[in-house]
Structure 1
């Protein structure tokens, strides 16, 4: 198999096989696991497949490429999507509820009104992403990168922030800070960190959100 940008190139035959796997996953979901087959993909480049009509919730999709795709309203809740790339993808209103998106890359993605509630975001990259009005409730953000991201009016209630990069982020109107667990944030860079801890970090966030 020939690789491209870290993913397997899908030729016509591979594309047909992938669509069959997507259909089987839909049957698996509809039958509550009694029929069909759970979707498991690793290192697959999905940019030539129309995924809009296929629910991807409860799937296992690791190190896959979704760059530049139009995935409005896509369902990926309770899925494992670790190390996958969504750079410049349109994911408005997408659902990542209880998903594991650790190490995923959402650089420059449109995540407006997307739900990441109760999701695991360890070292997830949201650099320059649009997360305005996103639902980030009760999520784990550990070493997540929100530099230059738009977090305006996002809800972070009960979420945990630890070693989170926030330099250049737009935080106006961020909601739920009083209920969030703010352990530490980095308002500098990875190379030249400026770490704020506990109450100091919370105060900075409150000021920036006003």
Structure 2
């Protein structure tokens, strides 16, 4: 797909959002490498960006809320003050990212990957972390209130100043590997979180 074509699609999407769907056209892209575009002036809320590539981008103040980003990759990206509120992040890859001051609340992170990521000062309230991979990640000063954890991979994770552990829903966590799981369920999972959280 040509660059000029995609830029035109961004323009039409901006009009679609601003006119509440009366004009323009919703942005729908599949398997497109977006790492060649600057995003400082792009409106991407409520977009369909499936299996797209955002690798190594510097994304600041980008609003992705209510977007479908399933299977997209943000590997090695830097994200600051980005909004993924109510976004579909199933199978999305945030490995090796630095993610700061961003909101993921009410998002779906089913089988998303945050391995080796640094997630700091973020809102992770009411997120579904089913089979989400946090191996060797660092979570610092994040709020996980009313989020649900099921078979969430946490091997090697660093937890510091985590808020909302008592309010989170722990069905199970995996402190082993994907190949050799060591599952802790319910209150044992919560206790592991509390015991492994640094002040």
Bucket of the pairwise TM-score, normalised by the shorter protein: over 0.9
Matches within 5 A, 1:55-74: 55-74=43-62
> Normalized against structure 1, the TM-score is what?
0.92
Aligned to 2:112: 124
Runs of 4+ in 1 over 6 A off after TM superposition: none
- CA distances 1:130-175 after superposition (whole Å, capped 9, x unpaired): 1111100001010000011111111000000000001111111110
User: What is the RMSD of the two structures over their aligned residues, measured on CA atoms?
Assistant: 0.9
Higher share of residues assigned strand: 2
Aligned to 2:122: 134
Deviation (angstroms), 1:34: 0.7
Deviation (angstroms), 1:208: 1.1
- Distance, in Å, in 1 between the alignment partners of 2:70 and 2:158 is 26
Deviation (angstroms), 1:205: 0.1
Matches within 5 A, 1:34-73: 34-73=22-61
The question of 1:23 aligning with 2:35 is answered: no
**Ranges in structure 1 where 5+ consecutive residues have no aligned partner:** 1-9
- Distance, in Å, in 2 between the alignment partners of 1:172 and 1:136 is 14
Q: Given the alignment, which residue of 58, 62, 70 partners 1:82?
A: 70
- Distance, in Å, in 2 between the alignment partners of 1:167 and 1:202 is 15
**Ranges in structure 2 where 5+ consecutive residues have no aligned partner:** none
Deviation (angstroms), 1:196: 0.4
Partner SS, residue 143 of structure 2: coil
- Distance, in Å, in 1 between the alignment partners of 2:176 and 2:33 is 34
Deviation (angstroms), 1:40: 0.1
